[in-house]
Structure 1
Amino acid sequence: MTTNDNRQHTRMAEKIAQIDSLCARARIMPVITIAREADILPLADALAAGGLSVLEITLRSAHGLTAIRLLREQRPELCVGAGTVLDLQMLAAAEEAGAQFIVTPGSTAELLKASLDSEVPMLPGTSSASDIMLGYALGYRRFKLFPAEVCGGTAALKALGGPFGDVRFCPTGGINPDNLQRYMALPNVMCVGGTWMFDSQWVKNGDWARIQQCSAEALQLLA
């Protein structure tokens, strides 16, 4: 193994440790798409007050990068990542905004390779064994299963645990209070992503107390 290979292996091991740490802290990771800039701080505060302090801010809206910048500046106690990163331009923009981790809905060789040279850890998306193998060959061992329920849910995760014994997942998509415990009971699940704790109508109405309560109740299911 060359010096460069050793350096890359060490860097990937550090990133895996970072992902493990933030997922252990999160347990449930809110996947947030900001519709109005005015919602950024009160929504984050309500989720954090309920115990959810690791936030995935998607880049699906024009306010995504603004939200990451604002939260990194105004709420440094939170762990803020960028989700729905689709290409190299979005990856660079998310890193520039201060994202502490990157989440993608799927995997491309271009994104996986680019992330190897980044200081920011990536949780690449997967929906199949082939996706996992693409990342596995580059050293990735932590993935987002998306969309989890459509991809087979807990049955798929159990099956993937056979050939990929050292891989762990953050399933997202279709997770709710009814199936949350089944996902978290699996040994290859490190946390889950979801949106049920901040219904869009609650956000629109500024019902922050309800969001705080729902967040706390979600974590209580895992107590």
Structure 2
Amino acid sequence: MRLCRFCRSCEKIHFCRLSGEACFIIDVWWGENGRSNKLLNVSYLNGYILLWTVYGLLGNATCEFFINVMDMIDVCDQRYLVDMISSLRVVPVVVVDEVELAQSLGEALVAGGLPIAEVTFRTDAAMGAMEVLASRGDILVGAGTVTTVDQVKEARESGAKFVVSPGFHREVVEYCLANEMLVLPGVSSASDIALAMEYGLKNVKFFPAEASGGVGLLKALSAPYQSVKFVPTGGIHAGNVRDYLSLDSVLACGGSWMVERSLVNDGKFEEIAKLTREVVELVK
């Protein structure tokens, strides 16, 4: 799929979203001798595409550029990260037991059209898996099951761009805020949400979603806290994900049904890619 194109009329490279064309992203620099092969002025970046190839006539040659958006986005660019998560709609929650499996897992997610992964700190391979996935450049990597500041530091060093916690761990939230890293702490009650708001947070994880009361409870909690967006996780599957996503208060849903631990460990990456494609189609 061609994600960018060189426009002869305006002499700019157009950045295309997954659905429809967005505004220009890169100006082509003009020098004394006409068009140059320098690309300047990254003027807009909304993060819908993580990696793309640009083809354009520069001078008399057709040049090819590989632009890795994730290299452009710092963890401080939280607005872009939130936009990415929102546009993808579903965040695969992954448990990786062997670092060697991470590369194939990444390929499967990208092939399925869902270039994002929340790698949980539930195994010793978590850091290594994050490093492998982040180094690809075409996957937005987050760290899940983060309960300590040390894990936040490890996640950041491994290339993770955001942090997800099962509960409201004050020290984790405070460290992330101090270091301008996107954090999604777990909440399941009005008191939890109120605490998150005291910290100035606008995005949180609703966990465990189904066990806490599901869509009904989330609707009730959202009513008095309309400025807060939720990422329901826990018990989410193909049969109920659209129910959650139908709520205006839901940013995206976290789920593992397309990346079950057994599928990863058994090397069934074609099946993972197939399930991922089904997810993408389901939540359009």
Letter in 1 for 2:165: T
Give the structure 1 partner of residue 113 of structure 2.
51
TM-score when normalising by structure 2: 0.70
User: Equivalents in 2 of 1:43, 1:78: separation in Å?
Assistant: 11
Contact preservation (8 Å) 1:18, 1:121: no
Give the structure 2 partner of residue 4 of structure 1.
none
Structure 1 position 205, deviation (Å):
2.3
1:78-137 CA-partner distances (Å, limit 9, x unpaired): 111111110111111111222111111111222222211113211111111111111100
Matches within 5 A, 1:118-157: 118-157=179-218
Structure 1 position 14, deviation (Å):
5.8
User: Equivalents in 2 of 1:112, 1:201: separation in Å?
Assistant: 32
1:145-168 CA-partner distances (Å, limit 9, x unpaired): 111001111011100111101101
Larger Rg: 2
Q: Structure 1 104/218 Cα, relative in aligned 2: closer, same or farther at 3 Å?
A: same
Q: Is 1:80 paired with 2:134?
A: no
User: Equivalents in 2 of 1:53, 1:85: separation in Å?
Assistant: 21
Letter in 2 for 1:136: M
Which SS does the other structure have where 2:239 is aligned? coil
User: Gaps (5+ residues) in structure 2?
Assistant: 1-75
Q: Is 1:24 paired with 2:89?
A: no
Contact preservation (8 Å) 1:106, 1:126: yes
User: Equivalents in 2 of 1:117, 1:22: separation in Å?
Assistant: 22
Matches within 5 A, 1:33-48: 33-48=95-110
Give the structure 1 partner of residue 258 of structure 2.
197
Which SS does the other structure have where 1:196 is aligned? coil
Structure showing the higher helix proportion among its residues: 1
1:56-89 CA-partner distances (Å, limit 9, x unpaired): 011111011111112222x112111111110111
Contact preservation (8 Å) 1:19, 1:123: no
User: Equivalents in 2 of 1:185, 1:214: separation in Å?
Assistant: 21
Give the structure 2 partner of residue 219 of structure 1.
280
Q: Is 1:115 paired with 2:176?
A: yes
Letter in 2 for 1:121: L
Structure 1 position 19, deviation (Å):
4.3
**RCO comparison, higher one (Cα < 8 Å, 6+):** 1
Residue among 163, 167, 171 paired with 2:232:
171
User: Equivalents in 1 of 2:176, 2:222: separation in Å?
Assistant: 25
Number of equivalent positions:
209
1:17-36 CA-partner distances (Å, limit 9, x unpaired): 23421212321100011012
Once the two structures are overlaid, the 10-residue window that deviates more, 110-119 or 132-141, is 110-119
Letter in 1 for 2:144: G
User: Gaps (5+ residues) in structure 1?
Assistant: 1-12
TM-score when normalising by structure 1: 0.89
Give the structure 1 partner of residue 241 of structure 2.
180
Q: Is 1:64 paired with 2:126?
A: yes
User: Equivalents in 1 of 2:77, 2:262: separation in Å?
Assistant: 39
User: Equivalents in 1 of 2:212, 2:80: separation in Å?
Assistant: 26
Contact preservation (8 Å) 2:93, 2:259: no
Alpha-carbon RMSD: 1.5
Letter in 2 for 1:118: N
Give the structure 2 partner of residue 93 of structure 1.
154
Letter in 1 for 2:240: N
Which SS does the other structure have where 1:182 is aligned? helix
